[in-house]
Chains A and B, each alone.
Chain A
Amino acid sequence: MERRSNLVAVFGAALAGAVLVYGASSVLNPYLLSIIAFLGINVILAVSLNITNGFTGLFSLGHPAFMTIGGYVTAIMTILPARKAHLLPDLPAFLARMQWPFLPALIAGGLVATLAAIIVGFPVLRLRGHYLAVATLGLIFIIQGLATNLDGYTRGALGLNGLPELTNLWWVYGWVLLTLYVCWTLKHSSLGRTMMAIRENELAAACLGVKITRTRILSFALGAFFAGVAGGLWAHLVTLITPTSFTFLLAFQLVVIVVLGGSGSITGATLVAAALTIATEALHPVEEAVGLYGLSQTLLAIAVLLVLIYRPKGLFGMAEPDLLAWIRKLPGRQPTHSGSKRHREV
Chain B
Amino acid sequence: MKSILTRLMTAAAVIGMLATVPHVKAADPIKIVALYNLSAGGLASIDGPSLNGAKLMAKQINDAGGLLGGRMIELTAIDTKNDLKEAATGAKRAVSMEGVVAGIGHSDTTFALASAPLFQAQGLPFVTSGATSPDLPDMIGGEMFLACFADDVQAHAMAEYAYNTLGIHNIVVWTDNAMDYTKGLSKYFQDRFTKLGGKVLLNDIYMTEDKDFSALVSRLKANPDAQGVFASSGPDTAGIIIKQIREAGIKLPILGGDGYDTELVSTVPGPDLSDNVYFTTHAYVGLDTGTAKAFREAYQKEFGNPPENAFAALGYDAMGLVADAIKRAGSTDAAAITKALNETTAYPAVTGQIAFKNGSRIPSKPVAIMYVDHGKVNLKTTVTPQG
Contacts and interface: CB of A to CB of B under 8 A. Distances in A.
A245 interface: yes
A179 interface: no
B211 interface: no
Nearest to B91: A31
Nearest to A288: B16
Given A34-B92, A149-B177, A157-B179, A239 B117 contact: yes
A161 B113 contact: yes
Chain B binding site: helix, strand, loop or mixed by DSSP?
A: helix
B92 A240 contact: no
B207 interface: yes
Contacts of B177: 148-149, 156-157
Main secondary structure of the interface of A (DSSP, over half): helix
A239 B88 contact: yes
A285 B16 contact: yes
B79 interface: yes
Interface stretch (B1-9, B217-225, B254-262): B1-9
Given A38-B89, A158-B183, A289-B15, A240 B139 contact: no
Contacts of B110: 157-159, 240, 242
Interface string B1-36: 110011011001101101110000000000000000
A171 to B, nearest CB: 17
Interface stretch (A22-30, A43-51, A203-211, A305-313): A22-30
Given A156-B183, A157-B180, A238-B85, A29 B12 contact: no
A110 to B, nearest CB: 20
A81 to B, nearest CB: 18
A4 B341 CA distance: 64
B180 A288 contact: no
Interface residues of A, number: 40
Given A32-B5, A240-B88, A282-B8, A291 B19 contact: yes
A156 B96 contact: no
B84 interface: yes
Given A32-B96, A148-B178, A156-B180, A38 B39 contact: no
A24 B13 CA distance: 21
Contacts of B140: 162
B327 interface: no
B84 A294 contact: no
B38 interface: yes
Contacts of A156: 177, 180, 183
A28 B139 contact: no
Nearest to A285: B12
A143 to B, nearest CB: 14
Contacts of A285: 8-9, 12-13, 15-16
B16 A238 contact: no
B183 A24 contact: no
B179 A162 contact: no
Interface in B239-287: none
B78 interface: yes
Interface string B45-80: 000000000000000000000000000000011110
A250 to B, nearest CB: 9
Given A31-B93, A278-B5, A285-B15, A240 B114 contact: yes
Interface string A280-295: 0110111111110110
A31 B92 contact: yes
B293 interface: no
Contacts of A29: 96
B112 to A, nearest CB: 10
A91 interface: no
Given A158-B110, A240-B114, A34 B89 contact: yes
A288 B96 contact: no
B322 interface: no
Nearest to B36: A293
B88 A237 contact: yes
A287 B81 CA distance: 12
26 contacts: A28-B2, A30-B95, A31-B95, A31-B96, A32-B96, A34-B88, A34-B92, A148-B178, A157-B183, A159-B113, A161-B113, A165-B121, A234-B85, A239-B114, A240-B113, A242-B84, A243-B178, A245-B85, A278-B5, A284-B79, A284-B93, A285-B13, A287-B79, A288-B79, A289-B15, A289-B16
Interface of A: 24, 28-32, 34-35, 38, 148-149, 156-159, 161-162, 165, 234, 237-240, 242-245, 278, 281-282, 284-291, 293-294
Given A34-B92, A284-B12, 11 more contacts: A28-B2, A31-B93, A32-B96, A156-B183, A165-B121, A242-B84, A282-B8, A284-B90, A288-B78, A293-B38, A293-B79
Q: Top 8 A-B pairs ranked by shortest CB distance? A: A285-B12, A293-B39, A158-B180, A31-B96, A31-B92, A29-B96, A238-B88, A289-B15
